[in-house]
Amino acid sequence: MAQHPTGHSHDAHGDSHESHGSLKSYVIGFVLSLVLTIIPLVAVLNDIVEGTAARVVLLVTAVLQFVVQLFFFMHLREEKKPRWNLMALILGLVIVLTIVIGSIWIMTYNAVA
C-alpha cells in the first residue's frame, strides 16, 4: 500500500523528466539554426546587403540563433518556477552587454590617432 504511491510518483516524476526535449524539438531547432546560419552567409558574402544593413542582419540572425538554441536545445522554456536559470542568464547578459557596449562606447571617444 505504502509502496504503490511511492512507485507511482517515481514513475510520474521520471516521465516529467523525460519530457525534457523531444526529437521534434531538436530537429526544429537544428533546421532553424541552419537557416539562420545560411541567411547571413548568402546575404553578406554575395553583397546583397552592405554596411549597417549587413551588420544588422548579422547580429539579428546571431541573436535569433542564440534564442533558438536556448529554447530548443537547452530547454530554457521548460524550466519550472522559480526560474533561477533564467534569472541567472539575465544577470549574466546584463553584465556581458555592459562590458561590451561600455567598452565600445568608451574606446570610440578615446581615438588617439
Report the interface residues with another protein, using CB under 8 A. 2-3, 6, 9-10, 13, 17-18, 20-23, 26, 29-30, 33-34, 37, 40-41, 44-45, 50, 54-55, 58-59, 61-62, 65-66, 69-70, 73-74, 84-85, 88-89, 91-93, 95-97, 99-100, 102-104, 107
Cβ 51 to another protein, closest distance in Å? 9
Which C-beta is closer to another protein: that of 77 or that of 95?
A: 95
Which C-beta is closer to another protein: that of 23 or that of 81?
A: 23
Alpha-carbon distances, residue 94 vs 15, 91, 97, 104 (angstroms): 35, 5, 5, 15
Which C-beta is closer to another protein: that of 77 or that of 102?
A: 102
Q: How many CB atoms lie within 10 A of CB 65?
A: 19
| CA 10/CA 16 separation, integer angstroms | 10
Q: How many CB atoms lie within 10 A of CB 29?
A: 19
Cβ-contact 33, 68 below 8 angstroms: yes
What's the angle, vertex CA 110, arms to CA 105 and CA 113, rounded to 5?
A: 135
